[in-house]
Amino acid sequence: MLKEFREFIMRGNVLDLAVAVIIGGAFNAIVTSLVNDIIMPLVGILLGGVNFAGVGLKVGNAVVLYGNFIQAIINFLIIALTLFLVVKGANRVMRKKAEAPVPPAPTAEEKLLTEIRDLLAAQNSRA
């Protein structure tokens, strides 16, 4: 069972997925910082000094912080745009590889010349 588990873990797909999850977590921290520390303060300045992190609505004893929700939406849009651009770039590379010129099949004349060459080579090897 331990051997099977080790083989499972060492498969390329599992390792690729683990790397993707770790990179995704790090990317999330970068995007969160970008939104919270750069984009939202600029948006707040444009809207007259509003700090979105503290924007909320008091309903009874509860406070609905819809500013945090707006920040989460902006985080999502930035991550979605980045992933879209990465996938678009990867598709372009794959398309170029698929469109690579395939060498044409040999013509009848080339096939005949190849047969003649092979026959001459066989005769020379016997002599």
**Locus of tokens 């797909």:** 13
Q: In the prediction, which pLDDT does 19 show? A: 84
The two three-digit tokens of residue 67, written as one number: 């500013």
Q: Residue 6 has what pLDDT?
A: 79
- pLDDT, residue 76, reads 86
Q: Is 104 left (phi over 0), alpha (psi -120 to 50) or beta?
A: beta
* Residue 4 token pair: 């099977």
Q: What domain range is 64 assigned to?
A: 2-126
Q: Degrees (nearest 5) of the Cα angle 88, 94, 98?
A: 140
Distance between CA 93 and CA 27 in Å, rounded? Answer: 23
The closest alpha carbon to 71, from 60, 56, 87, belongs to 56
Q: Which DSSP string corresponds to 39-55?
A: IHHHHHHHTTS--GGG-
**What is the pLDDT at residue 54?**
73
What helix, strand, coil percent values describe the chain, rounded to 5?
75, 5, 20
CATH number for position 90: 1.10.1200.120
pTM: 0.54
Note the pLDDT of residue 117.
93
Total tally of structural domains belonging to the chain? 1
- CA 103 – CA 99 distance, rounded (Å): 12
Regions of the chain where pLDDT drops below 50: none
